[in-house]
């Protein structure tokens, strides 16, 4: 959550910086245009890119044009767009970028709440003063021709003329102002206030006041507020000059108001004063009105606005497809924070004795590997399938080890994978980096037009689905549970050997992942199925023709039993005949992990 917040602040700051550059480039154009730009910068603080990406994620845009996918899915763009994103080492947990003391988050929230409360209290106090003036006001008996549809009232107040109200604005004038200003001056001042009311400046100013209260700690927010006031006043100045042609009388009216009355205390009470009065007077007397936007600038501006909206939506759509394909880690369930520097207390690495049984197990507090291919250990630690590991050294095909490790007492259950990753860094000198590459993939689709399931594929029972839903809620609430090995017919359950896979209570993403491990390519689920399912799949492995062993085991990885059914079809035919699905070849962006360094360990 902290990373999301800091990413949002960073993205909003970056957007404001871009808008500042655009506003400077348009400094000779109409002020109302620059006001719109600064308003967009303000609103961006209320609209996180993450929310827009979530909306885009409702559409899985896997078939986006290759250049777009390559750019938006590249690690460089992700790191630049979200520099505070949490590190991930395993798709079943979230690991913060740095361990934090438990009191830091409450302290920061407390400081923010104090600032927010102080600003809110001050705003309420100022608004009550304005409301008191409105309640004491009376209808102004002199109607201005240009004020059709707007109510004008006078009040015994020292406040300058201003527009009060968000939804039904009224113009509030100090009593006796018609004695302080000439008719021409008063007409120009009223034209200024009418412009504010028709532009709905009070409503947009109130939106920015909310931004100031929420992000009071950010200096850029207050600077944006000053720019909004300056540009809205200049926009109304330009309107009055063009509407009345009374530049001298208008300037004199502003000076008279500033001398006799106090500026409105709230940004959402648009008055005639505000901003740099001297600079405004100079511009008014010079009849300075901004230039209209030329066609090239208009095209650039519209294109920039459209791209700003489309990029987060497209990113969310592409990421949703990549997550479904296993190309990106899934959102992690909540759980206790884990220090990324957590390490095993005791580690032993010895050569594997071929007479022993191959195994790999993770139980609370312990990690044991005997004879399993090291690429499985690396993939497990990095939270990716074996086929996403690029650059594995050749010696890994022949070397086998027995690894026994014990975690420190009290280490969190969801920290075991982090400790495995640190074991590889310390003893095997593991170093990696992420890349996005255009690689062959498969789409998992229905084999029949009527979307009928195959004989070995069905939806899980209602009891099983209810159990899984309750377990998912428990994981979200309490964090990952210790690893357990269910009975073969339990829900969920898994049984896989060369040529056979039997699963109960799994979602389509799991089925796609199982096939990914067996066909050597990422498999993207395109069926649209969203429930839990049971399936039994039997096939004849064809090692050497792209069909790798179960869970990515390469040929020769220990003594493997013969296929359950030597007469079974190949995997592609089995998927079609037994599940009613099929694998269609395609290409798409795949996030891979490139091994920069991996050495043989020192043995105990």
| Residue 487 vs residue 585, higher pLDDT | 585
Residue 93 has pLDDT above 80, yes or no: no
Helix spans in 444-504 (H): 462-478
Q: What would the mean pLDDT of 433-456 be, rounded to a whole number?
A: 90
Which sign does the torsion angle of CA 154, 155, 157, 159 carry?
negative
602 belongs to a structural domain = no
- Same domain? For 280 and 385 the reply is no
Give the model confidence (pLDDT) of 264-274 as tens digits: 777 777 777 76
Tokens standing for residue 489:
């017919």
Q: What is the pLDDT of residue 304?
A: 81
245 with 368, same domain: the answer is no
User: Do 378 and 453 have their domain in common?
Assistant: yes
**146 part of a folded domain:** yes
Task: Order across the sheet with 138-139: list the strands.
Answer: 138-139, 151-155, 170-174, 162-164, 270-271
| Residues 345, 351, 354: CA angle, nearest 5 degrees | 125
Q: What is the pTM of this model?
A: 0.59
Mean pLDDT along residues 274-296: 81
SS (H, E, C) 14-60: HHHHHHHHHHHHCCCECHHHHHHHHHHHHHHCCCCHHHHHHHHCCCC
377-407 residue pLDDT tens: 888 888 777 778 889 998 887 888 999 999 8
Mean pLDDT, rounded, for 594-601: 92
User: Do 294 and 386 have their domain in common?
Assistant: no
Domain, as residue range, for 408: 346-597
Which of 270, 302, 334 is the last residue before a domain boundary?
A: 302
> Last residue of a domain, which of 249, 268, 302?
302
CA distances from 532 to 460, 462, 466 (A): 6, 9, 10
Average pLDDT over residues 138-156: 73
Query: Does 383 share its domain with 239?
Result: no
pLDDT in tens, 36-74: 999 999 999 998 877 777 776 666 555 556 566 555 555
Say whether both 362 and 494 belong to one domain.
yes
Same domain for 94 and 39? Answer: yes
The total domain count for the chain is: 2
**Alpha-carbon span 277 to 260, nearest angstrom:** 14
The top-scoring range by mean pLDDT among 260-274, 281-295, 307-321, 448-462 is: 448-462
Question: Which pLDDT score is estimated for 334?
Answer: 46
Residue 514 lies in a domain: yes
For 143-152, 395-404, 439-448, 580-589, which range has the lowest pLDDT when averaged over its residues? 143-152
User: Quick one: 37 and 173 in the same domain?
Assistant: yes
In a domain, 54, yes or no: yes
Q: Quick one: which of 426, 487, 447, 462 has its CA closest to 578?
A: 447
Backbone angles phi, psi at 292, to 5 degrees: -70, 155
Sole residue written with tokens 């789409």:
443
Is the pLDDT at 572 greater than 50, yes or no?
Answer: yes
CB-based contact 161:257 (threshold 8 Å): yes
Give the CA distances from residue 220 to residues 8, 41, 308, 456, in Å, rounded to whole numbers and listed in that order.
14, 10, 20, 60
Query: Tokens 């009232």 correspond to what residue?
Result: 153
User: 445 is written with which tokens?
Assistant: 């689709």
Domain assignment of residue 319, yes or no = no
CA distances to 147, 283, 499, 525 from 584, rounded to whole Å, are 67, 67, 21, 11
162 and 63, same structural domain? yes
Do 367 and 295 lie in one domain? The reply is no
In this structure, are 400 and 255 located in the same domain? no
- 217 versus 501: which is more confidently predicted? 217
- Residue 320 domain flag: no
Residue 64: predicted pLDDT: 58
DSSP tag of 288: -
Euclidean distance between CA atoms 132 and 127, whole angstroms: 9
Structure confidence at residue 477 (pLDDT): 64
Please check whether residue 575 lies inside any domain of the structure: yes
Q: Is 604 domain-assigned?
A: no
């Amino acid at each position: 959550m902290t990373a999301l917040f800091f990413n949002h602040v960073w993205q909003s700051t970056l957007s404001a910086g871009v808008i500042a550059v655009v506003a400077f480039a348009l400094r000779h154009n109409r002020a109302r245009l620059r006001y719109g730009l600064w308003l967009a910068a303000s609103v961006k603080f209320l609209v996180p890119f993450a929310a827009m990406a979530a909306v885009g994620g409702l559409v899985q845009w896997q078939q986006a044009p290759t250049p777009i996918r390559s750019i938006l899915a590249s690690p460089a763009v992700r790191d630049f767009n979200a520099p505070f994103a949490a590190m991930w080492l395993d798709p079943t947990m979230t690991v913060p970028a740095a361990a934090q003391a438990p009191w830091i988050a409450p302290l920061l929230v407390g400081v923010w709440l104090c600032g927010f409360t102080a600003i809110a209290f001050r705003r309420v106090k100022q608004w009550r003063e304005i409301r008191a003036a409105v309640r004491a006001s009376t209808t102004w008996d002199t109607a201005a021709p240009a004020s059709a549809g707007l109510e004008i009232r006078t009040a015994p107040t020292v406040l300058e003329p201003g527009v009060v109200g968000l939804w039904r604005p009224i113009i509030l004038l100090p009593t006796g102002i018609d004695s302080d200003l000439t008719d021409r001056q008063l007409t120009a001042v009223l034209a200024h206030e009418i412009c504010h009311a028709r532009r709905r400046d009070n409503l947009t100013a109130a939106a920015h006041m909310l931004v100031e209260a929420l992000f009071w700690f950010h200096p850029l927010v207050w600077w944006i507020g000053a720019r909004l006031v300056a540009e809205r006043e200049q926009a109304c100045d330009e309107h009055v000059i063009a509407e009345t042609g009374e530049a001298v009388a208008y300037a004199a009216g502003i000076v008279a108001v500033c001398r006799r009355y106090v500026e409105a205390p709230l940004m959402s009470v648009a008055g005639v004063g505000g901003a740099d009065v001297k600079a405004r007077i100079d511009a008014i007397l010079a009849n300075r009105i901004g230039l209209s936007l030329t066609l090239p600038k208009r095209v650039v501006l519209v294109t920039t606005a459209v791209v700003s909206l489309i990029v987060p939506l497209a990113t969310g759509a592409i990421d949703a497809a990549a997550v479904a394909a296993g190309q990106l880690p899934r959102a992690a369930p909540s759980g206790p924070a884990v220090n990324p520097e957590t390490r095993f207390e005791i580690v032993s690495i010895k050569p594997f004795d071929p007479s022993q049984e191959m195994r790999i197990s993770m139980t609370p507090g312990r990690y044991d590997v005997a004879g399993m291919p090291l690429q499985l250990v690396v993939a497990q630690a990095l939270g990716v399938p074996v086929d996403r590991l690029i650059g594995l050294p050749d010696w890994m095909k022949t070397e086998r080890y027995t690894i026994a490790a014990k975690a420190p007492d009290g280490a969190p259950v969801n920290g075991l994978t982090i400790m495995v990753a640190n074991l590889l860094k310390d003893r095997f000198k593991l170093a990696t980096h992420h890349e996005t590459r255009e690689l062959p993939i498969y789409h998992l689709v229905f084999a029949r037009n009527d979307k009928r399931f195959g004989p070995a594929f069905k939806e899980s029972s209602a009891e099983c689905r209810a159990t899984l839903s309750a377990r998912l809620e428990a994981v979200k609430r309490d964090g990952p549970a210790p690893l357990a090995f269910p009975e073969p017919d339990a829900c969920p359950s898994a049984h896989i050997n060369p040529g056979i896979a039997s699963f109960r209570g799994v979602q389509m993403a799991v089925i796609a992942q199982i096939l990914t491990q067996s066909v050597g390519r990422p498999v993207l689920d395109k069926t649209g199925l969203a429930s839990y399912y049971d399936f039994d799949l039997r096939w004849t492995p064809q090692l050497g023709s792209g069909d790798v062993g179960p869970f990515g085991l390469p040929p020769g990885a220990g003594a493997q039993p013969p296929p359950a059914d030597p007469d079974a079809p190949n995997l592609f035919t089995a998927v079609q005949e037994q599940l009613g699905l099929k694998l269609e070849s395609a290409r798409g962006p795949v996030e891979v992990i490139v091994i920069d360094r991996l050495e043989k360990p020192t043995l105990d």
